[in-house]
Amino acid sequence: MSTPALVAAERCSAPTAVAEAELAARAAAGDLEHLVAGLRRLDATVAGEPRAPFVLARLPDADVARGQLRERGWAVRRGDTFPGLGPDWLRIAVRSRAVTDAFLADLATVLGNRAAFGTRSRLLERTPA
């Protein structure tokens, strides 16, 4: 092992570094829970109990929703690239609560649930440009 690698390992395992990592992990877990709760309020089906920095969510017409989200500046990954999932699934990255709230607001608009979280989701029909 090189000297720089040993120094890095030593610093990363110092009590202050470990405490900082634990704080970051707790914040990330809270951000994940916030995203999952928001998706469920929009009647999305969330796969399992997510522990990764992303969530797999099933939405009606997810492929259309993904395009409409892209038009609003959001990048979400298609779910059908994961074995066993179809075009009605999206992979959504976990971000800070502020970013998640903005994303969920746009997703609610795309799904037609602007003010009424908890009602059955419907995509807004596109109007020709």
Q: Tell me the per-residue pLDDT of 20-75, one tens digit each, with 9 for 90 and over.
A: 888 887 888 899 999 999 999 999 999 999 999 999 999 988 989 999 999 999 99
Give the pLDDT confidence score for residue 18 in this predicted structure: 81
Domain count, the chain: 1
Residue 62 lies inside a defined structural domain of this protein:
yes
**pLDDT tens figures, 51-60:** 999 999 999 8
Q: Which residues contact 108 (CB under 8 A, 6 or more apart)?
A: 42, 114, 117
Q: Which domain holds residue 24?
A: 3-111
Q: How far apart, in whole angstroms, are the C-alpha atoms of residue 6 and residue 127?
A: 60
The amino acid at residue 23 is: L
The reported pTM is 0.76
Per-residue pLDDT band for 8 (boundaries 50, 70, 90) equals confident
Domain assignment present for residue 127? The answer is no
Q: How far apart are CA 129 and CA 126, in angstroms?
A: 9
Question: How far apart are alpha carbons 104 and 99 in whole angstroms?
Answer: 9
- Which token pair is 35? 């995203």
Evaluate whether 89 touches 127 at the Cβ level (below 8 Å). no
Q: Does 16 score more than 70 pLDDT?
A: yes
Task: Return the DSSP state at 125.
Answer: P
- Domain-located, residue 118: no
Which domain CATH number covers 84? 3.90.1150.10
Residue 121 placed within a domain: no
Residue 20: CB partners within 8 Å, gap ≥ 6? none
